[in-house]
Structure 1
Amino acid sequence: MKIILWGGVALLALFWTGGAAILAEAVQWSAQWVSAGSTSTLEAAAKNIVLPVWLAPWFDPAGISSVLETLQDMLGSFSSVLPTMGMVMGWLIPAIWITWLLGVLALVGAGVAGTLILSRFQKS
């Protein structure tokens, strides 16, 4: 039973580590992208979005166009702030790994507690 418990802890730790690594890489990639000032590409892409004809019965074209205009305005206003956000996002990677450490410690603590509980029930 202890082998199953620690196998489960190891599997959860593996998923936790993989998730943290993927999140850290995504944050690093987005920080580089944001600090490079690539918002003009997004603005251009938002201006070129056209609602397909077959979606017109389900969505109001005027409502969709107002949402796209709002998106364009937001991207235009964020373009001056985004280079500084790249520096702030650099602090997220250490925060991700600190959170990972706390999660792994909690998993190991749960494994130890489970082992102690199992050993008490197996003795009696």
Structure 2
Amino acid sequence: MKTALWIFIAFLAALWSGCAWLGIELLQWLAARLSAGDAGELERAIAQWPLPAWLEYWIDPAWAEMLRGALTGLMAAITHAAPWLGTAMGWLLPLAWVIWGGGLLALLALGALLNLLLNQARPTPAR
């Protein structure tokens, strides 16, 4: 049971690390695009992105249009915040790594706590 617990905690830690890495890469990519002045082009690309035929079976087209509108609005807001985002990258990236480390420590603490509870729940052999 302990092995299964730690395998599950390791899976959650890998998932958490992957999401943190993806988020940080996305932040860096967005900052690079904004500093290059490509924000308007990204906004136009999102607005013109067609919904793939295979995705129509899984997502309602009205919901996809709403999502596209939200992404377009988000890119418009980010375009206006481009100067601020460039200076914020100096503290956003370290903050993202601190949040990742805090989440990883929380997962390890959860694993240790559950391990302790498993030890206490084990029945003692009768003599």
Same structural fold, with TM-score higher than 0.5 when normalized by the shorter chain? yes
Query: Counterpart in 1 of 2:2?
Result: 2
Query: Counterpart in 2 of 1:11?
Result: 11
Give the match's secondary structure for 1:116: helix
Question: What code does the residue aligned with 2:38 have?
Answer: S
Q: In 2, distance between residues paired with 1:113 and 1:79? A: 45
In the superposition, the TM-score normalised over structure 1's length comes to: 0.67
- Alpha-carbon distance change, 92 to 114 in structure 1, aligned in 2, over 3 angstroms: same
Q: Over the residues paired in the alignment, what is the CA RMSD in angstroms?
A: 3.0
In the superposition, the TM-score normalised over structure 2's length comes to: 0.65
- Alpha-carbon distance change, 42 to 10 in structure 1, aligned in 2, over 3 angstroms: closer
Taking only the aligned residue pairs, the percentage that are identical comes to 37
Structure number with larger C-alpha Rg: 1
TM-superposed CA distance for 1:83, in Å, is: 2.9
Q: In 2, distance between residues paired with 1:106 and 1:27? A: 24
Query: Counterpart in 1 of 2:84?
Result: 84
- Alpha-carbon distance change, 78 to 29 in structure 1, aligned in 2, over 3 angstroms: closer
Question: What code does the residue aligned with 2:114 have?
Answer: G
Query: Counterpart in 1 of 2:66?
Result: none
Question: Tell me, which stretches of 5 or more residues in structure 1 are unaligned?
Answer: 50-58, 60-66
Q: In 2, distance between residues paired with 1:99 and 1:78? A: 23
Aligned residue pair count: 102
TM-superposed CA distance for 1:112, in Å, is: 0.6
TM-superposed CA distance for 1:116, in Å, is: 0.7
Give the match's secondary structure for 1:91: helix
After TM superposition, the structure 1 = structure 2 runs for residues 95-110 of structure 1, keeping only pairs within 5 Å, are 95-110=95-110
Hey, which bits of structure 1, 4+ residues long, moved more than 4 A? Answer: 77-81
